[in-house]
Amino acid sequence: MIPAAFDYEVAESADHAIALLAEHGDDAKLLAGGHSLIPMMRYRLATPSVLVDVGRLDDLRYIRTGNGTVSIGALTRHSELEHSAELAGACPMLASVAALVGDPAVRHRGTLGGTLAHSDPASDLPAAVLALGGTIVAQGPGGSREIAATDFFTGYFESVLAADEMITEVRVPAGGGGWNYQKFNRRAQDWAIVGAAVAGGGSGVSLVNMGSTPIRASGVEAAVAGGASAAEAAAVAADGLEPPDDLNADAEYRSHLARVLTERALNAAGVA
Amino acid sequence: MTAVTLTVNGTERSLDVEPRTLLVHALRDDLGLTGTNVGCDSSSCGACTVLVDGQSAKSCTVFAVQADGADITTIEGVADADGTLHPMQQAFHEHHALQCGYCTPGMVMAAISLVEEYPGLDEGGVRHGLEGNLCRCTGYQNIVDAVLAAAGSGGD
């Protein structure tokens, strides 16, 4: 399975990448680690005419903590999140979830900015950033803007990112109470059939693979805030959602998993 | 065509590739290093695992142009020049960690990277760490034993 032909451009900076996107239009794609994009290109589900390689922008590989915020460069790789002592101290949830993505070889290449831009509702890290109440910094021709993770995802593999914008940084709060991530799958290295992320002692709850985007379980959050038990709060986890039916699970089973995994995650995060 | 320079098993190699050329095809077809196998062709099986700048990577999911300037190590490059096997290869040999052998080059490369990245691995850690490498013959037991032995963590 060979991808369709494309022209290859190496970005020397974020500014250069954005200029190349503007020059080549909608049919250009950014290439970071490539571990979502290249498989899609091999299946010819994606056939960009130009790839702009941002994988060499090492100045966007960093983890910095200050003023209660952890700022992570978009090109930071999953394995760097996983092994960062700074992140383990400031936001252990993100380090821990990063260690569950794919397998070691995938984590050596995949990037935090890339997985957010790809906006796969079945991916682990977008849901974690959502539960954490993170912020995504995107740069475009007119400068940078900050996008709340709650406003970022719009549909299957779709986000509010414009065609000429690039994620440059991801920010999550440092510290912040009990957390847990429950990833349920049946095959080694597979995506979650359903996942549940709890951050901030139950103030942030999100679900993986329960709809067309990573989903913020605001009903669960409200129940926890109102003093409900973990079991009571988790009971509403799937309310109003339309999870997908596929070979792994039908919608009813996914809804059951969402309730069970949310309760487990709430319990592990310290909600009784 | 795009000019790419790779340091492969310690030797600098220059080649012209189409941007869509995957690293595994550059290694096999352009450089003749056929020890790296193509298995699933969909980033799942790990048969094509090589080291890129010392870390395991599935070479079917990396464009050769992305690796321009990188250090690549393939299965052909891990033994000593005099033929002395790499400790991981020796452990696979001693523990009979293969049957048909198709997954073995990728398994060895993934295992070399794994023990480097995660010191003090136990059996569960080896099994989890090799999730991305599929073997359809052995049931994995001997592979896990070999990796544990090479990691100095026991295993018979």
Clarify whether residues B108 and B144 are in a common domain.
yes
> B11 with B69, same domain?
yes
Cα–Cα dist B81/A185, whole Å: 44
Bridge partners, residue B49, by sequence:
B58
CATH number at residue B66: 3.10.20.30
Count the domains in chain A: 3
Residue B138: pLDDT above 90?
no
d(CA A103, CA B49): 12
B10 and B38: one domain? yes
- Written as six digits, the tokens of A106 are 């995938």
The mean predicted confidence, pLDDT, of chain A is: 96
A255-264 tens-digit pLDDT:
999 999 999 9
CB-CB contact of A196 with A237 (8 Å): yes
Contacts of B44 (CB under 8 A, 6+ apart): A189, B132, B134
Of the candidates B54, B76, B98, which is a domain's last residue?
B76
Interface test with A, best of B20, B25, B68, B130 (most A CBs within 10 A): B20
Instruction: Name which of B14, B4, B12 is nearest B65 in CA terms.
Output: B4
pLDDT tens-digit map of B6-18: 999 999 999 999 9
Residue B82 lies in a domain: no
Rounded percentage of chain A residues whose pLDDT exceeds 70: 100
Q: How far apart are CA B112 and CA A270, in angstroms?
A: 39
Per the prediction, chain B carries an average pLDDT of: 95
- pLDDT of B153 reads 60
Domain hosting B10: range is 2-76
The pLDDT, as a whole number, for residue A49 is: 97
In angstroms, the separation between the Cα of residue A40 and the nearest Cα of chain B is 9
Are A63 and A167 within one domain?
Answer: yes
Alpha helix segments (H runs only) across chain A: 14-24, 37-42, 78-83, 85-90, 92-98, 104-109, 112-118, 124-131, 149-152, 218-225, 230-234, 251-268
> The tokens of B85 are what?
């096997």
Domain CATH for A90: 3.30.465.10
As a whole number of angstroms, the distance between CA B27 and CA B49 comes to 12
CATH number (domain holding residue B103)? 1.10.150.120
Tell me what pLDDT residue B155 has: 44
Q: Is the pLDDT of residue A224 over 90?
A: yes
Q: Which of B58, B109, B113 to mutate to test the interface with A (most CBs of A within 10 A)?
A: B58
Closest residue on chain A to B19 (Cα): A8
Percent of chain B at pLDDT above 90?
A: 91
- DSSP tag of A234: H
Could you tell me if A12 and A93 lie in one domain?
no
Whether B117 is in a domain gets the answer yes
Q: Which residues contact B101 (CB under 8 A, 6 or more apart)?
A: none
Of A46, A70, A191, A33, nearest to A125 by C-alpha is A191
- Residue B102: helix, strand or coil by DSSP? coil
Residue A156 lies in a domain: yes
- Rounded average pLDDT over A172-198: 93
A102 contacts in chain B (CB < 8 Å): 132
Cβ-defined contact of B66 to A2 (cutoff 8 Å): no
B17 touches chain A (CB under 8 A): no
Q: Closest residue of B to A53, CA-based?
A: B66
Residue A233: pLDDT over 50:
yes
- Could you please report the per-residue DSSP string of B9-42? TTEEEEEEE-TT-BHHHIIIIIS--TTSPP-SSS
For A105, the closest of B42, B56, B65 (CB atoms) is B56
Res B33 pLDDT > 50: yes
Query: A120 and A63 in one domain?
Result: yes
Nearest CA distance, A160 vs chain B (angstrom)? 27
* Closest listed residue to residue A93, CA positions, set A135, A125, A60: A125
- Nearest residue of chain A to residue B39 (CA atoms): A1
pLDDT tens across B41-85, in order?
A: 888 899 999 999 999 999 999 999 999 999 999 999 999 999 999
State how far the Cα of B63 lies from the Cα of A38, in Å rounded to an integer: 8
Residue A189 has pLDDT above 90, yes or no: no
Kindly state whether A6 is in contact with chain B, defined as any CB-CB distance less than 8 angstroms.
yes
Q: Hey, which residues 178-207 in chain A have their CB within 8 Å of chain B? A: 188-189
The shortest CB-CB distance from B114 to any of A7, A35, A104 is to A104
Do B8 and B64 lie in a common domain? yes
Residues B91 and B64 in one domain: no
How close does chain B come to A171, measured CA to CA in Å?
Answer: 26
Per the structure, the count of domains in chain B is: 2
pLDDT at A133: 97
A83 and A139 share one domain: yes
Q: pLDDT tens digits, residue range A73-84?
A: 999 999 999 999
Kindly provide the ipTM of the predicted complex, given to two decimals: 0.95
Containing A184, the helix (H) or strand (E) segment is: strand A180-184
Residue A2 lies in a domain: no
pLDDT of residue A190: 86
Whether B105 and B142 share a structural domain:
yes
Does residue A108 fall inside a structural domain?
yes
**End position of a domain, from candidates B76, B101, B132:** B76
For residue A239, the SS3 value is coil
Measured between CA atoms, the residue of chain B closest to residue A189 is B131
Which residue from B18, B63, B132 is facing A104, i.e. has the nearest CB?
Answer: B132
Q: Which letter, b or e, does each residue of B80-93 get, where b requires 16 or more Cβ atoms within 10 Å of its Cβ?
A: eeeeeebebbebbe
B63 plus B103 within the same structural domain = no
Torsional sign, CA A165, A15, A34, A79: negative
SS3 A87: helix
Chain A residues closer than 8 Å to B42 by CB: 1, 39, 42-43
**Shared-domain flag, residues A99 and A133:** yes
Please give the residue range of the domain that contains residue A13.
7-53
Residue A164 domain-assigned?
yes
Number of A/B CB contacts below 8 angstroms equals 82
Q: What is the pTM of this model?
A: 0.96
- Picking from B131, B133, B135, B147 by the largest number of A CB atoms within 10 A of its own CB, the best residue to mutate is B131
